[in-house]
Amino acid sequence: MKTILVTGGTGYIGSHVCVQLLDAGYHVVIADNLINSKREVVDYIAQMTGKTPDFYQTDLLDADGLRAIFRAHPIDGVIHFAGLKAVGESVEQPLRYYTNNLTSTLNLLAVMQEAGCTVIVFSSSATVYGENNAVPFHEGMPVSATNPYGYTKVVQERMLTDIAAAQPELSVLLLRYFNPVGAHPSGLIGENPNGIPNNLMPYVAKVATGELPHVNVFGNDYDTPDGTGVRDYIHVCDLARGHVLGLQYAFGRTGTDIVNLGTGHGSSVLELIHAFSQACGHDLPYVIAPRRAGDIAECWADTKKAKEVLGFTTQVTLADMCRDSWNFICHQREQAH
């Protein structure tokens, strides 16, 4: 079976993809600098699959470190997750975000070319749909961004597209995620950000554990059914399955293609808070706060292309996503004591 390099493979989404790649019979090599994840995730992946991926604590800014991996393994394809991804932080530290995210990808593409590796699946984001498109967002829409993090995704998509146009043997698949949430039912891996989370689901989870006093609902005056922001929350295990299907698709073609990975349904902030309170078994306090700069009212995926080209659909409900998130958190707390 093929060998796949997963950059950022100990991260939230990357680790769930590694599990499904190993279960599908691929050999997996992980390169991660552990800036936003923990080394023990490799052990959890091994425990969940019965197979141990090769792991290199490597920063993609170190091209020679990357070369060493390609010399040590016959890498057939790459799934590229590694990158900084906090919207607010990117506004405060744009130089760090552009340097890290763009140079990492350029190094990876250069080393892939030297090694003759011609398949890359790129972790992009619905954030590239910006604030001027109408929902549901589809792959042919114009892209833009409202913050440096979003622009690093726009620019990386552009770089990959231009390089693939000049290298006919290259296969590039840009996967645009909507809002990944939830955790593997085992409770061993999940989203466990350090500090105060930027994203809604991990923030709500910390209110559910009592680590934070209440949820701040960023605005209830949007033009949506209950006035709060609507997003397309997709279970991280569904998202991971979409990557395995995407990789198989990318191996069968050349050139660049773009596919959304979402459910096609929107849920509001209040709906998510309610769903999580059902999962954790108690009400969750919230206050209505001012809108957050850069937020759009509604965001959900047009899922037609994912179904047509990948055979990808999602069935998991928001209640399931909250249940699995809460299960992961309870499992982490048991481990800690």
**Residues near ligand WQD (CB under 6 A):** 85, 87, 125, 127, 179, 198-200, 203, 216-218, 229, 231, 269, 292, 295
Chain length of the chain: 337
Buried-exposed string 274-307: b where 16+ CB fall within 10 A, e elsewhere: bbbbebbeeebebeeeeeeeeebbbbbbbbebbe
Collapse the DSSP code of 119 into the 3-class scheme (helix H, G, I; strand E, B; otherwise coil) and give the result: strand
Structure tokens that stand for 1 in this block: 């079976």
Quick one: 269 or 329, whose CB is closer to ligand WQD? 269
Distance CA(93)–CA(235), nearest Å, equals 30
What pairs with residue 259 in β-bridges?
A: 175
Residue 161 corresponds to which tokens in the numbers above?
Answer: 């597209």
The strand pair at 230-231 and 267-268 is best described as: antiparallel
What is the C-alpha to C-alpha distance for residues 31 and 81, in angstroms, rounded to an integer? 10
Least distance in Å: CB of 227 to ligand WQD? 11
DSSP state of 307: I
Which residue is nearest to ligand WQD, using beta carbons? 229
Q: Give min distance, CB of 182 to ligand WQD, in A.
A: 13
Strand partners, 217: 288
C-beta closer to ligand WQD: residue 151 or 312: 151
Shortest separation between residue 150's beta carbon and ligand WQD, angstroms = 7
Task: Please compute Rg for the chain using Cα positions.
Answer: 19
Q: Tell me whether residue 56 is one of the annotated catalytic residues.
A: no
Contact (CB, 8 A) for 121 and 79: yes
Starting from the edge strand earliest in sequence, which strands make up the sheet with 267-268, in order? 267-268, 230-231, 298-299
CB of 335 to ligand WQD, least distance (A): 25
For the bound state, the minimum distance from the C-beta of residue 128 to ligand WQD, rounded and expressed in Å, comes to 9
Closer residue to ligand WQD, CB minimum distance, 53 or 83:
83
What is the rounded distance in angstroms from the CA atom of residue 57 to the CA atom of residue 49?
21
- By C-beta, is 65 or 294 nearer to ligand WQD? 294
In a 3-state reduction of DSSP, which class is residue 67? helix
175 pairs with which residues across the strands? 123, 259
Residue 306 beta carbon to ligand WQD: minimum distance, rounded to whole angstroms: 17
Q: What is the maximum alpha-carbon separation in the chain? A: 56
- 119, 250 in Cβ contact below 8 A? yes
- Among residues 149, 177, 222, 233, the one annotated as catalytic is 149
Smallest distance from ligand WQD to CB 224, Å: 9
User: How far, in Å, CA of 99 to CA of 147, rounded?
Assistant: 15
Nearer to ligand WQD (CB atom), residue 125 or residue 303: 125
- Considering the complex, state which of residue 120 and residue 236 has its C-beta at the smaller distance from ligand WQD: 236
Residue 53 vs 242, nearer CB to ligand WQD: 242
Question: Which residues participate in catalysis according to the annotation?
Answer: 149
